[in-house]
Amino acid sequence: MSVTTTTHLNLPGTAREALAHYQRAFGGEVHITTYGEVGMPQDAPDAGKVVFGRVTADCGFSVMAYVIPGRDEPFGGLTTRQNGMTVTDQPFFDSVSVSSLGEAEGYWSALAEGATVIEPLAASAWSAGFGMLTDRFGVTWSVDVAGNPAD
């Protein structure tokens, strides 16, 4: 038996833009269904917004997103430094773990467009490269190179 999980982002009006951004970062295909396509009256304010959206890439990346009906204001977020460590109040992070620093740098660069960097991508005690950022859609990402930093 196997189980696959996919992060599902609940966004305040920005799902379409977020999915396009992640597709540029990871490649793959974007599939979008709007509220209007599943029965919301076409003249309703949210009819053209995303109710089911997904990016699926050959590299194994997959993420889903939808627009929270009636919400357009962005989420807040608190990031602080405590005892030399970065602490954030985000309820979850989306983690991208890859096999090489070059691959990590490519994804990092794409995700960092318009983002707030929490920890720059750099060598760490546990990885040849680790970084954390909150993208312009309010999603916090950690990017790391899997394995021993000496590998």
**Residues ≥6 apart with Cβ < 8 Å to 123:** 129, 130, 149
Whether 30 is covered by a domain: the verdict is yes
Whether 108 is covered by a domain: the verdict is yes
Q: Count each helix (H run) and each strand (E run) in the chain, helices first.
A: 2, 10
Whether 42 is covered by a domain: the verdict is yes
Convert the pLDDT of each residue in 44-75 to its tens digit: 888 999 999 999 999 999 999 999 888 877 76
Which CATH number does the domain housing residue 97 bear?
3.30.720.110
Total number of domains in the chain: 2
Which CATH number does the domain housing residue 24 bear?
3.30.720
Q: Within this chain, do residues 92 and 63 fall inside the same structural domain, yes or no?
A: no
Whether 1 is covered by a domain: the verdict is no
Q: Within this chain, do residues 84 and 140 fall inside the same structural domain, yes or no?
A: yes
Residue 26 vs residues 74, 135, 138: alpha-carbon distances, Å: 24, 14, 18
Residue 85: per-residue pLDDT: 59
Look at 34-38, 142-146, 147-151 and tell me which has the smallest mean pLDDT.
147-151
Domain membership of residue 49 as a residue range: 7-67
Cα 13-15-16 angle, rounded to 5 deg = 110
